[in-house]
Amino acid sequence: MAERAALLEVRGLDAGFGAGPVLFGVDLDFYTGELVALIGANGAGKSTLLGVLSGLVPATRGSVVFDGRDLTNARPENVVAAGISHVPQGRRLFGSLSVEKNLRLGAYLRRDADVERDLASVLEYFPALRDKMARNAATLSGGEQQMVAIGRGLMARPRLLMIDEPSLGLGPKVVERVIEVAQAINRDGTSILLVEQDVVLALEAAHRGYVLENGRVVLSGRAAELEQNPEVRRAYLGL
């Protein structure tokens, strides 16, 4: 039986900023249809890795290949056009624009006829936004803003949706709802890479996981196995 090809293949990735390197030799494989959790302490390099994958942070070594195409240090708009969408930490909406305009900005590269259908699909996932489409994004609650941010990412019609720390600043019930919707989006055919500080929540939602420590992948495997791993339990679950 032939080994199935990875949708996303990261090899030997180093990256950093002016202050110095943050990622060291990161290898990662991601297959179509998966929901993969990326976990680790603050400062481990999780957001930097998403930044490299979305073209916002330069890689100094290694490669990023998506669906057979080399996207190493590609421009962000080319990454989006290739099928990768990034929902950044902190949501980063345009507060003075309406919810509808924020959502439509996710489709700015698209020239197809399905934008309206996809907008309706976003409102199926997030019905709480239906009566808020004309409101400025700044007037929404944190949970509603997170819904808009994920919806905006979906409007690019990605094959891989990367969501960075969706639970930041949100109450437990809202977080659960956001994760449930992420799982529904995944079941409907969009692959998801989830960076999440709530390790239990992330691993319970995911198929597989990677643990990042000081810019290096130190553990990877099936999510259920990682949840039971003594090192993970001690370092992240306080057990």
In the three-class reduction of DSSP (H, G, I as helix; E, B as strand; rest coil), residue 64 is classed as strand
Secondary structure letter of residue 237 according to DSSP: S
- Angle, helices 172-187 vs 115-125, to 10°: value is 140
* CA distance linking residue 152 with residue 133, whole number of Å: 13
Instruction: Please count the residues of the chain.
Output: 239
CATH number at residue 135: 3.40.50.300
E-strand spans in 110-190? 160-164
Contact assessment for residue 175 and residue 167, using Cβ atoms and an 8 Å cutoff: yes
Contact assessment for residue 49 and residue 211, using Cβ atoms and an 8 Å cutoff: no
Q: Is residue 14 part of a domain?
A: yes
Q: Is residue 228 part of a domain?
A: yes
Helix H, strand E, coil C: the string for 172-225 is: HHHHHHHHHHHHHHHHCCCEEEEECCCHHHHHHHCCEEEEEECCEEEEEEEHHH
Q: Is residue 2 part of a domain?
A: no
Q: Is residue 1 part of a domain?
A: no
Secondary structure letter of residue 126 according to DSSP: -
* CA distance linking residue 166 with residue 195, whole number of Å: 8
Q: Is residue 58 part of a domain?
A: yes
Q: Is residue 106 part of a domain?
A: yes
User: In the numeric block, which tokens belong to residue 186?
Assistant: 């995944």
Other CB atoms within 10 A of residue 83 CB: 20
pTM of this prediction exceeds 0.85 = yes
The count of structural domains within the chain is 1
Query: pLDDT tens, position by position, for the chain (239 residues)?
Result: 445 779 999 999 999 877 778 999 999 999 999 999 999 988 899 999 999 999 999 999 999 999 999 999 999 999 999 999 999 887 788 878 999 999 999 998 877 889 999 999 999 999 999 999 999 999 999 899 999 999 999 999 999 999 999 888 888 888 888 899 999 999 999 999 999 888 888 999 999 999 999 999 999 999 999 999 998 888 876 65
Q: What is the pLDDT of residues 48-68, one digit of tens each?
A: 999 999 999 999 999 999 999
Closest CA to 215 of 46, 88, 61: 46
Q: Is residue 109 part of a domain?
A: yes
Q: Is residue 102 part of a domain?
A: yes
User: In the numeric block, which tokens belong to residue 160?
Assistant: 């891989």
Q: What is the pLDDT of residues 138-166, one digit of tens each?
A: 999 989 999 999 999 999 999 999 999 98
Bridge partners, residue 220, by sequence? 210
Q: What burial class does residue 157 get, using C-beta atoms within 10 Å of its C-beta: 0-12 exposed, 13-18 middle, 19+ buried?
A: buried
Coarse DSSP helix, strand, coil percentages of the chain, rounded to the nearest 5 percent: 40, 25, 35
User: In the numeric block, which tokens belong to residue 19?
Assistant: 């202050």
For residue 189, report the phi and psi dihedrals to the nearest 5 degrees.
120, -5
Secondary structure letter of residue 6 according to DSSP: P
Write out the residue range of the structural domain in which residue 118 sits: 8-236
